[in-house]
Amino acid sequence: MQVMPEKGAAGGGLREQKKRATRAALAEAAVRLAAEHGVENVTVEAISAAAGVSVRTFFNYFDARDDAFVVIDTDISARVRSTVLHAPAEVPPLDAVRDAIAAELAEAEQQHELWQLHAEVLRAAPHLLVRSLGAHLADETGLAVAIARRLRGGPADVPGTTATDEDARRSLDLYPRLLAAVAGTAVRVAVEHWSADPAERQFADVFQETFASLAAGLPAPPG
């Protein structure tokens, strides 16, 4: 069963769509310029010009230049969390997570080149890689919190819903932590495996095979 992403999660109105497109254009411009010239040689002015916006607009989206390099799309995590939290009660947690991520990765084949550039930029700039890893681990924790809330009965009738993130994190059980972390790893492996030969298979096939193996308990494939 495919759960559709809640477009409303990160705001679905036209205004929100335009904001998201502007943010994405700035992040893409930042990565492409950094890949070509090196992070240290890229200015906020150059990023803004490449994205067709003013420097002032840049600072509506990012507090500082380096922020534009850290995460390509911050909205993805919020949408995945929301989709997991709102998936029908009968959907097993692993399937809910798989479907939420699948909806976000629908554009993987188009985004692939940009992701690879982003990875190269981060590898060449350790201080950004560290920040990106921190953001990744925060996403993982956020997803674990969403899974934990879902297990306790969904978003509406959960006492913990209004607790702070810090509280939620401290009280995390093993299972939500594990599912969130393994799902993130499975996405990375699917992207890496598919990237090694993108012409051979569709990304969606590799992704579904990856999660099917997890759901089956990682059995040896039929020889």
Binding test (CB under 8 A) with a second copy, winner from 113, 188, 200, 202: 188
Residues sharing a CB contact under 8 Å with residue 47, sequence separation 6 or more, in sequence order: 26, 29, 30, 33, 58, 65, 68
- As given in the structure block, the two tokens for residue 99 are 């479907």
120 binds a second copy (CB under 8 A): no
1 binds a second copy (CB under 8 A): no
In angstroms, give the least distance from the CB of 217 to a second copy: 4
- Going residue by residue from 129 to 168, which x/- string records binding to a second copy, judged by CB under 8 A? xx--x-----------------x-----------------
Binding test (CB under 8 A) with a second copy, winner from 184, 195, 198, 204: 184
Q: Where are any strands of DSSP class E within the chain?
A: none
88 binds a second copy (CB under 8 A): no
- As given in the structure block, the two tokens for residue 215 are 């759901």
83 binds a second copy (CB under 8 A): no
- As given in the structure block, the two tokens for residue 170 are 């401290």
CB contact at 8 A, 44 and 53: no
Full 3-state SS string of 115-172? HHHHHHHHHHCHHHHHHHHHHHHHHHHHHHHHHHHHHCCCCCCCHHHHCCHHHHHHCC
Residues sharing a CB contact under 8 Å with residue 184, sequence separation 6 or more, in sequence order: 136, 139, 140, 143
100 binds a second copy (CB under 8 A): no
Nearer to a second copy, 19 or 193 (CB): 193
In angstroms, give the least distance from the CB of 89 to a second copy: 11
Binding test (CB under 8 A) with a second copy, winner from 38, 54, 92, 167: 92
Binding site for a second copy (CB under 8 A): 92-94, 123, 126-127, 129-130, 133, 151, 170, 172-175, 177-179, 181-182, 184-186, 188-190, 192-193, 196, 206, 209-210, 213-221, 223
